[in-house]
Structures are given as C-alpha cells and as structure tokens.
C-alpha cells in the first residue's frame, strides 16, 4: 500500500509542476465526479430497471453520504420509491471510488494522453430491497413531528472550517409532478436546533440500511 501512495505522490508532484496539466486534471475530475453524483441522485437510471409499481420517475425520499474525509466508506445514496398502491422499495447506490489503485491508473492514463481532458465512467453498484410501508411511514411521521427553523441565526462563534469530514443529506419529495421537495444537509457541525431532526433521520437511515444486511 505504501508503494501505491508513493507512486500517487510522484504523479501528483508532476501535476504540480505544470499549471496546464493541473487545470486539465481538475476539469477531468470535476466532470467525472459531477456525473457520478448525478447517477447516485438518479439511481433509477441505472440498470436493472425499477418496476413501474414503485413509480421510479417520482422518488419519495433520498438520503446520501458523500463519505468525505479519512474514511474507507464509499459515497452512497438511499432512494425510496413508493407507488400509489403503497408498494415501497429502497435502492442503495454505491460509488466505488476510494481505491488507490484506480486513482493511480486514472493518473497514468491522463499522462499517457498528454493531459487530455478525460471522462471516466464511474463504477456504481446498486441493490434493491422492499421496505415495510408501516415502518417507513412511522419514521416519516416521527421526522414530521419536529419543527425546526428553515434558517439558522447562530453567530460567528459557531463557525467550523474543515474538509476532512463527511457531508450527509436528507431530501423528501411530494407525490406531485413535478414534485415539491425539501432538503437538509449537514456535517460534524450543524445548527443545534436541527439535532432532533438529524437524530430521527439517522434512525430512518439505519432502518433502510438494515434491509441490505
């Protein structure tokens, strides 16, 4: 493993010596990452298809974790689909991007192409489980019971600056077309008023993840 990191350091050092190469690598990475997250957030676009009974075109809820910072966890989304007949399914989409070897291969190919901006197809796996409608609705009701301010007016003393942590989010959609939605996102530091809601979302996330065990 140390050899792989040494090779990555050497390749990164080469990038640092050329602003043009560094800019091309940044653009390549931005394009690839943006597309990967589009797929994670629209996981019904990934095969296998989700049966129409679950209304895949109109997801009910999404929870995500970008797995930032120093962690072996991979970025993922949990998307819940709920049909008009009550059928409920959760799709977990995982982006396998933490491999040191894969990053090294991308850099090597980048240099072989003389810094050509490259798009890399993300490696994403999906799995589906049926979800208990009663338990799912029970979690939603518990979340809905919490009243929190739409904005936080905490002072500057509550600021936190770091990039070595994960960002987690929760998004709920109406059954309308196009849907109305509400989104919350947080990390290690968040408005204290949000804590009850965050704890309830964690319970829902754990419930959904338990179906994949």
**Mean of the pLDDT values across residues 90-114?**
83
Q: Which of 124, 117, 125, 123 is nearest to 30 (CA)?
A: 117
CA distance 39 to 58: 15
Tally the domains of the chain. Answer: 1
- Give me the pLDDT at residue 129, please: 98
Cis before 178 (ω within 30): yes
Residue 118 near residue 28 (C-beta atoms within 8 A):
yes
CA-to-CA distance for 56 and 39, rounded, in angstroms?
A: 14
Candidates 117, 142, 125; CA nearest to 196 is: 142
At 21-62, the pLDDT tens digits run: 888 888 888 999 999 999 999 999 999 999 999 999 899 999
Long-range contacts of 142-149 (CB under 8 A, 24+ apart): 142/200, 142/203, 143/197, 143/200, 143/201, 143/204, 146/196, 146/197, 146/200, 148/193, 148/194, 148/196, 148/197, 149/191, 149/193
User: What is the tens place of the pLDDT at every residue in 164-207?
Assistant: 788 999 999 998 888 999 999 998 888 888 899 999 999 999 99
- The tens digit of pLDDT for each residue in 107-158 reads 777 777 777 777 788 999 999 999 999 999 999 999 999 988 877 777 656 5
Q: What is the pLDDT of residue 112?
A: 78
- DSSP per-residue string spanning 109-158: HHHHTTT--------EEEEEEE--HHHHHHHHHHHHT----SS----GGG
Residue 125 has a pLDDT of 98
Cβ atoms of residues 139 and 40 within 8 Å: no
Residue 211, classed as helix, strand or coil, is coil
Q: Which residue has the higher pLDDT, 5 or 78?
A: 78
In the prediction, which pLDDT does 4 show? 59
**Dist CA 11 CA 111 (whole Å):** 9
At 18 the pLDDT is 81
Say what the pLDDT of residue 172 is. 96
Domain interval for residue 19: 2-210
SS (H, E, C) 131-144: CCHHHHHHHHHHHH
């Amino acid at each position: 493993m140390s050899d792989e990191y040494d090779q990555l350091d050497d390749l990164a050092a080469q990038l640092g010596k050329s602003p043009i190469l560094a800019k091309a690598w940044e653009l390549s990475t931005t394009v690839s990452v943006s597309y990967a997250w589009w797929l994670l957030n629209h996981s019904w676009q990934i095969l296998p298809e989700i049966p129409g009974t679950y209304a895949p075109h109109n997801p009910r809820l999404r929870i995500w974790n970008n797995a930032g910072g120093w962690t072996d966890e991979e970025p993922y989304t949990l998307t819940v689909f709920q049909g008009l007949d009550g059928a409920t399914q959760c799709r977990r989409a995982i982006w396998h991007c933490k491999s040191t070897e894969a990053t090294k291969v991308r850099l090597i190919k980048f240099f072989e192409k003389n810094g050509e901006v490259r798009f890399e197809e993300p490696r994403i796996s999906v799995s589906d489980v049926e979800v208990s409608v009663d338990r799912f609705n029970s979690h939603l009701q518990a979340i809905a019971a919490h009243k929190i301010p739409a904005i936080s007016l905490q002072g500057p003393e509550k600021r936190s600056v770091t990039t070595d942590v994960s960002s987690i989010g929760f998004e709920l959609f109406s059954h309308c077309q196009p849907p109305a939605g509400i989104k919350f996102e947080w990390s290690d530091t968040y408005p204290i008023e949000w804590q009850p809601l965050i704890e309830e979302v964690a319970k829902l996330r754990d419930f959904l993840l338990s179906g994949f065990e």
